Chain A
């Protein structure tokens, strides 16, 4: 009993240490972004919003933010549409190849982004496409596609096929079945996939580095600003990025929970 409780304490300490290790840097970044000092050191002097103000006035930052939002938005559209179509298509028309295709589709997830970036650059050169935000969007879509495909596929596995049969039996056309039955039931998975695509794209550096022309995205701007050291503006950008990413992840989590709850109730 005693051994048990001392090991529990040890485990608790270890957990606290890991959490501290994970979150302390993020926390410090946020703290320094509000600190009235141009260097990131203790002690904290005074609360200020001036680093956020100077960011808002920074032309390079504003363009990069706009570019990042355009790229992430477009990636969400392409990756989600393609991933969903692939998920539904594979599930419906080639059920025998489901497992094989799922492993195949998850391959890009395991390729390091460095390799993916080089491969994409080589490909764009080969087919003579000029590098621009469009090529970045294509690259990010490649990165996000497997996530969408796998999330949608997972949802389809738990899908009662007799729902679609029942709809057909009641006179629904294939298009009607998709709009009225399949899509609403896939909606939570699709929304989750879209949010994950957004986050993946919004944070992406390596693939962007290889596939962009003269346009910069937010992480690229951070990267270039870092050459002159960590400025409070970078802390401000980082804080904003973390907030956006956390919000996305939070929304995704809520959606997943709610749909799981629905599924659980249905299974009663």
Chain B
């Protein structure tokens, strides 16, 4: 992510402790302008804390944070970042319009301009009909959009989002993912997004930052992270993985079975222990030499549980992970 362009967000050696516990244990990260960057990792790995440090809500115990080249100081009120909270944090005693206007009022934007900008933002997010309602009268998805509108109307350089879809049901989540991605392209600003859902991260991101216990495990595009995981932890967390002997691994969708295995790709024989039809694909668990190999095959397959089966994979599809102690 080099070039001469200044990063929107830069973290250098950032550490945050709670008591003796290091929630963030030394993070270096550059985020280029206009990117959709996701902090991905299991619960408790320090994603929220990192985001809150970028937003100026927490002071790091060590390291430096710059947004738009300016050091972040939690005392300064004018910042280039805005946060969309996991709970949305909409002001319950204000209407949608008043919520969205709040930041502009605080920035002392002239009244007429506030009205126009709020209307435009509400229209942009399909909230014009809800302007006079109170947050409690809205659905989860609508509240989510108000939170986005309230942050975006102030035209920040960087928008911080902490698991913003976590409270929505699956269908709504999928829909909002699409809307979020479109919105980010539309406004063209940097989004830093926190989630523990790897599918969501793959779907949304230009860049994924995989985190593990307060550290960065890998930074890369979704394809990088999936196809070239930096280590076993990333391979395991992002997508499903069959770990093989040595430092090899193979994704279930790259496992071949039966007579489609080209010469040189055959790896062994086993027995189908479980089979589940998932609609677009079929998932097989193949038992071989005391271990289980998972294969996902497109469509339906005519193999039954208990059948003997040959399996294999192409050399180029195997993942070469660094050995555990090479880190």
Contact = CB atoms under 8 A, between A and B. Distances in A.
Contacts of A185: 92-93
Given A170-B106, A171-B107, A185-B92, A266 B135 contact: yes
Given A169-B83, A170-B102, A171-B77, A160 B136 contact: no
B85 A168 contact: no
Nearest to A177: B106
A170 B154 contact: yes
Contacts of B151: 169-170
B103 A171 contact: yes
Given A167-B91, A171-B103, A171-B106, A162 B77 contact: no
A162 B85 contact: yes
A36 B92 CA distance: 55
Given A165-B57, A266-B135, A268-B136, A172 B89 contact: no
Interface in B63-96: 77-79, 81-83, 85-87, 89, 91-93
A242 B81 CA distance: 56
A173 B77 contact: yes
Contacts of A165: 57, 83, 85, 89
A41 to B, nearest CB: 55
A265 interface: yes
B145 interface: no
Contact of A169 (B82, B86, B136): B82
A166 interface: yes
Nearest to A172: B106
Interface string A227-268: 000000000000000000000000000000000001001101
Contacts of A168: 77
B91 A163 contact: yes
Contacts of A166: 83, 85, 89, 91
A184 interface: yes
Contact of A170 (B86, B93, B103, B137): B103
Interface string A178-197: 00110011000000000000
Contacts of A173: 77
A185 B92 CA distance: 8
B55 A169 contact: yes
B97 interface: no
B215 interface: no
Contact of B136 (A162, A184, A262): A262
Contacts of A167: 91, 102, 106
A181 B93 CA distance: 8
B91 A181 contact: yes
A208 to B, nearest CB: 38
B150 interface: yes
Interface string B223-263: 00000000000000000000000000000000000000000
A176 interface: yes
Contacts of A265: 136-137
Interface string B150-187: 11001000000000000000000000000000000000
Most chain B CB atoms below 10 A, which of A171, A185, A265, A266: A171
Most chain A CB atoms below 10 A, which of B85, B106, B137: B106
B301 to A, nearest CB: 45
A265 B134 CA distance: 11
A192 B89 CA distance: 25
A181 B136 CA distance: 16
Nearest to A162: B89
A176 B103 CA distance: 12
Contact of A162 (B78, B79, B87, B107): B87
Contacts of B92: 163, 185, 262, 266
Nearest to B106: A171
Contacts of B86: 162
A160 B106 contact: no
A165 B151 CA distance: 13
A38 B91 CA distance: 59
Contacts of B91: 163, 166-167, 181
Given A167-B106, A168-B77, 6 more contacts: A160-B89, A165-B57, A167-B102, A169-B82, A172-B102, A185-B93
5 contacts: A163-B91, A166-B89, A185-B93, A265-B136, A265-B137
Interface of B: 55, 57, 77-79, 81-83, 85-87, 89, 91-93, 102-103, 106-107, 135-137, 150-151, 154
